[in-house]
Structure 1
Amino acid sequence: METKKYHAFWRGAIILTIASFVTKVLSAFYRIPYQNIAGDIGFYIYQQIYPFYGFCLILATYGFPIIISKMIAERLERGEHKEAESVICVSFWFLLVIGSMGCIVLFFGAHTIASLMGDAHLDKLIRVIAFSFLLMPFLSVARGYFQGFGNMIPTAISQVIEQTIRVSIIVFLSLFLIKKGFDLYTVGAGAMFGSIAGSFIGVIVLFLYLRKDFRSIFLQGFKGIYNKKRIIGTLFWQGIAICVSNLVLIFIQMADSVSLYSLLVQNGEPVEIAKMLKGIYDRSIPLMQLGTVVTTSFSLSLIPMITAAKERGDYAFIREKVQLAIKITFVIGLAASLGLASIIRPTNIMLFANDDGSGVLGILSISILFSSLAITTASILQGVGQTVKPAIFVVIGACVKLLFNYMFVPHFGVIGAAIATVIALLCIALLNSVLLIRVVNEPLMQRKTIIGVTIGALSMVVVLAGFTYMFEWFGVQVNEEHREIAMIQALLGVSVGGLLYVFLILKLRVFTAKELGAVMKHEKVQSSLKKSG
């Protein structure tokens, strides 16, 4: 019976992991055509407001659904079905109040917020995105409901459909508005409308799954529920803690949104140039997102196993999987960071039509490693019951980012902001790692692993430098006028560097045969789950 329970838990986790991977890839990818359509200034406009939507998205996807599902599952485990329905009802009405307050503050405070960001024209985008907070309660509670009952399919399907609709509307509506000659702020508002439309479709999908039970559960008598304060307290504090832990990149983007453009203008950059510089700087966001998603996808698949092991007190199993998750993150994250930095110029031209800001993007490429470590360690800490401290560390990291922006940007411009991002993410990763070492009471990585991975990564950098020089030696022009050549160089660089790195990692025996089996074969993961159960 226990084995079946663990297998069901694992299958559900796999479904959500796949859905999360697909939605994150879509979320990163659409920014590239959007920048190509709207240009760097249009991209600046969109990215200034995106963190507000990103915050709401995390609330509706990770923060509140996880806590609601946990409260439901605990009550179902004790056979308290009526109390489980009470959790849904109380959560819905509480989050509806929170969402309504968020919508009102953003809608009516749009001009003030935009002015504080240094660009009053952003107010129309803020007013559009305010409505996402009204949809957040429906998405959060419905997903928490299904996950609490162990049914991950509705959540997974709604996430993928929501993101697909959102991305499609953003790209096609932007093309339409640009073609019709609308200004870039209206184009940005159209893109924000795409986000609202995607969330609305997500609500409809979940409602179709819930149509038979909606009235009996969501609209039951509120006064008859006796433990409302306890449910609300748990939902608010734990939901916010989990949400903030997942907001690493959003908080960094928010710090840039409220400070970078204003600092550039204050230090003498003309308004239009400052917007363009911020837009060029924001090219790093899809690169960081894609790099982080790829880096963490393998390691985060181990988190449900760590959580299950925590429930049954199998600490030896926890230590083994924690070390494997960190090793995977470090191995892939270091390769992604240094590999992208080595081919950043052709990659920049391939994706964004020119090589503007390649130096800044090269610095920000390094942050892929630290953001991946920060996200993986935070997820593991949540899995072993540490929810508050990782959230505090994210807030500390955001404050560090803001502080260093004010210190560096006046002297170094957008390069200073890039350095501030790397330092902030390094800070979060280190704080999480120190706490995780205390929790598992063992080092997260062996010296042999660090040496082997470093040798492999540096060898890859040297080969990619030679590869780039070879293009120049043959007189091949890699610039915006030869975008297809840049694409060939970038993709060949990924292939050559990646194959060399994998060869060296295997040759230097960074992973044991057992670890490779756990990473590459689902059957062996299940076998480990059986043995540990």
Structure 2
Amino acid sequence: METKKYASFWQGAIILTIAGIIVKILSAFYRIPYQNIAGDIGFYIYQQVYPFYGVCLILGTYGFPVVISKLVASRMESGDITKVKDIIYISFLALMCIGILLFCTFFFGAEIIAGYMGDSSLQILLQVIAFSFLLMPFLSVMRGYLQGIGDMKPTAVSQVAEQALRVTIIVGLSLYLVAQGSNRYIVGGGAMFGSVAGSILGIVILAYYLHQRKASIYKASWSAISDKGMIIKLVVLQGILVCISNITLLLIQMVDSVTFYELLLQTGETSERSKVIKAVYDRGFPLIQLGTVVATSFVLPLIPMISAARTKGDYRAVKRYMQLAMKLTLVVALAATGGLICIIEQTNIMLFTDNQGSFTLGILAVCILVGSFGIVASAVLQGIGNTILPAFFAVVGVAIKYMGNIVLMPKLGDVGAAWAAVLSLSCISILNVVYLKHKMKMPLVGWKNASKVVFACLAMMFVLKGYVYGINTLVDHTSRYLISVEALSAVCIGGMLYLILIIRWGVFTIEEVGTVWKGKKLPSFLRSQRL
């Protein structure tokens, strides 16, 4: 029975991880065609408001559902079905109060918020996303209940469907509105409508799964519930703590939303020029998101293994999986960062039509490396039962970003904002990694392996720079298509060289390779003596 339970837990964790990766990839990719359709000003408008919606999305996907599912699972273990309904009922009422408060804040206070952001025309977008907060309680409790009873499929399906519809509406409606010659802020409002529509679809899908189970999760009696205060405290407080650790990048973007444009105006930039600079700067965040998704996609499946090993008291396995997670993060994140820096101009043109702000985007690329370590270390700490400190570290990092913008942007402009982002994520990563090392009382990545990874990355960057220089010397090309071919071929060449060096130098043991790739054999020419 225990083996079956563990297998079910592992399968559910994998399903949610895969769904999460798909959602993050869709979330990063759709902004590229949107920028191409709406232009830099249109992209600026969307990016100014998106972080507020993103927080709502994370609350309804990772924050509150995680806590509710744990409470439900613990009551299901004891067979107390009545208590499960009490938890759902109280959680829903508490979250609905929060949702209504946030709805009123963003809908009726949109003019004030937009004014504080320096652009009163953003009011309509803020009012559209306000409706997302009313939908958040339904998504949270339904996902929390279904995950708590061990059914991860509805959450995974609803997440992917929600994001797919959202992306489809954003791209499709933007194409239509731009073709009709609509105001850019109306186009942005249409894009935000896609987010609300996606949430509604998510609720419909979850309701369908609940109907199949004939589950009436909202029926309970307020007066009959004895521990209302404890349930509310656990759900709200822990949900917010879990959420904060998962929205660091969104909070950093939110800081930029409320400071970047205003600070540029104070330096003497015109309103139109400031919007373009902000839009070009914001090109970096889809790249960071894609980079961190790639860097952590191999690692996040190990987090449930760490949690399960800790639950079983197998601390040797906990340390082994944890070290592998950090090693994988270093290998993939360093490659993604170094590779992107080498071809940042080509990537900028390929994705966003021109090479504006390539130097700034190159600085932001460093966020992939430091951000990935922060994400993984925070996830490991949460996996071993620590939620307060990772959230506190995230708050410290966001405060550093805010102060960094205030100090650096008047002198350096968008470059200062980029360095502030790097400094912020570096601080968060260092704090999480140092605390994790303290908790585990062991080195996270051996210096010998780390030096091999660094040299492999430097070799890859040297070859990539040579390749790009050679292509640009031999071929005078300005076509976006040819530049795209150059960028993609550079990725293939650099990636293959890096992979060969990592494996030939024995960075991973055969046991570690088996853990990640489930025992699949590597080609003989890639095997080192160590493997």
Residue in structure 1 matched with residue 344 of structure 2 by the alignment: 344
CA-to-partner distance for each residue in 1:8-30, whole Å, 9 max, x for gaps? 10000011111111111000000
AA of the residue aligned to 1:290 = L
Structure 1 vs Structure 2 CA RMSD: 1.2
1:452-467 maps to which residues of 2 (within 5 A)? Answer: 452-467=452-467
Number of the residue aligned with 1:531: none
Specify the code of the residue in structure 1 equivalent to 2:337.
Answer: S
Residue type matched to 2:109 in 1?
G
The one-letter code of the counterpart of 1:497 is: G
Deviation at 1:304, TM superposition (A): 0.5
Q: Corresponding residue for 1:378?
A: 378
Identity of aligned residues (%): 52
TM-score normalised according to structure 2 size = 0.97
Q: Corresponding residue for 2:439?
A: 439
Report SS of the residue matched to 2:444: coil
Aligned residue identity for 2:69: S
Q: Which residue of 2 aligns with 1:507?
A: 504
Q: Distance in 1 between matches of 2:460 and 2:133?
A: 45
Shift, 1:334, TM fit: 0.4
Q: CA deviation at 1:86?
A: 1.1
Counterpart position of 2:353 = 353
Q: Which amino acid aligns with 1:21?
A: I
Q: What does 1:8-407 align with in structure 2 at a 5 Å threshold?
A: 8-211=8-211, 216-407=216-407
Shift of 1:245: 0.5
After TM superposition, give the deviation of residue 508 of structure 1 in Å. Answer: 1.2
Find the aligned partners of 2:254 and 2:449 in 1 and give their Cα distance.
35
Give, in angstroms, the shift of residue 213 of structure 1.
Answer: 6.5
Deviation at 1:380, TM superposition (A): 0.5
CA drift at 1:116: 0.5
Q: CA deviation at 1:226?
A: 1.3
Letter in 1 for 2:471: F
Render the CA deviation track for 1:274-323: whole Å, top value 9, x for unaligned. Answer: 00000000011111111111110111110011111121221111111011
Map Cα deviations across residues 91-126 of structure 1 (whole Å, 9 max, x no partner): 111111110111011101101001111111101100
Q: In 2, distance between residues paired with 1:76 and 1:216?
A: 15
- Tell me the SS of whatever aligns to 1:150: coil
- Structure 1: which 5+ runs fail to align? 525-533
Q: How far is the alpha carbon of 1:216 from its aligned partner?
A: 3.3
Q: Distance in 2 between matches of 1:158 and 1:235?
A: 22
Asked if the contact 2:59–2:243 (Cα under 8 Å) also holds between the matched residues in 1, the reply is yes
Which residues of structure 2 form unaligned runs of 5+?
522-531
Instruction: Name the counterpart of 2:485.
Output: 488
What SS is found at the alignment partner of 1:433?
Answer: helix
Aligned-partner SS, 1:300: coil
Corresponding residue for residue 529 of structure 1: none
Shift of 1:352: 0.6
Question: Aligned-pair distance for 1:148?
Answer: 0.2
Q: SS of the counterpart of 1:118?
A: coil
Moved over 3 A (4+): 212-216
Cα pair distance change 1:410/1:392, threshold 3 Å: same
Q: 8 Å contact 2:85–2:219 — kept in the other structure?
A: no
Quote the Cα distance in structure 2 between the aligned partners of 1:407 and 1:66: 37
CA contact (8 A) 2:513 2:519 kept: no
Contact 2:342/2:461 (<8 A) preserved: yes
CA distance in structure 1 between the aligned counterparts of 2:184 and 2:217, rounded to whole angstroms:
44
Distance in 2 (alpha carbons) for counterparts of 1:222 and 1:47: 41
Distance in 1, matches of 2:418 and 2:71, equals: 41
SS in 2 for 1:211: helix
| Greater alpha carbon shift after TM alignment, 59-68 vs 75-84 | 75-84
Equivalent AA in structure 1 for residue 103 of structure 2: C
Take 1:369 and 1:348, find their aligned partners in 2: how far apart are those partners? 19
| Farther-moved stretch of structure 1 (8-17 vs 222-231) | 222-231
Q: Between 418-427 and 309-318, report the one with greater CA deviation.
A: 309-318
Residue 507 of structure 1: CA displacement?
A: 1.3
For 2:514, the aligned partner's letter is G
Matched residues in 2 for 1:200 and 1:406: separation? 39
- 1:214 is displaced (CA, Å) by 7.3
Residue range with higher mean Cα deviation, 309-318 or 449-458: 309-318
Structure 1 CA distance for aligned equivalents of residues 518 and 215 of structure 2:
44
Aligned residues: 521
Query: What letter corresponds to residue 461 of structure 1 in structure 2?
Result: M
**Hey, what's the Cα distance between the residues in 2 that align with 1:433 and 1:249?**
18
In the alignment, the residues of structure 2 paired with residue 30 and residue 219 of structure 1 have an alpha-carbon distance, to the nearest angstrom, of 39
> What SS does structure 2 have at the residue aligned with 1:217?
coil
Give 3-state SS (helix, strand or coil) of 2:445's partner.
Answer: coil
Distance 1:502 1:448 in 2: 17
Shift of 1:84: 1.3
2:314 and 2:240 map into 1 onto residues whose CA distance is 28
CA distance in structure 2 between the aligned counterparts of 1:336 and 1:257, rounded to whole angstroms = 26
In structure 2, give the amino acid aligned to 1:427.
Answer: C
Task: Measure, in 2, the Cα distance between the counterparts of 1:471 and 1:90.
Answer: 63
1:498 aligned to which of 480, 495, 504: 495
Aligned to 2:528: none
* Contact 2:331/2:453, CA 8 A, preserved across alignment: yes
Q: Supply the distance in 2 between the matched residues of 1:199 and 1:214 (Cα, whole angstroms).
A: 22
Q: CA deviation at 1:212?
A: 5.9
Q: 1:252 to 1:89 in 2, by over 3 A?
A: same
Aligned to 1:131, what secondary structure does the other structure show? helix
Aligned partner of 1:530 in structure 2 is: none
Amino acid at match of 1:44: Y
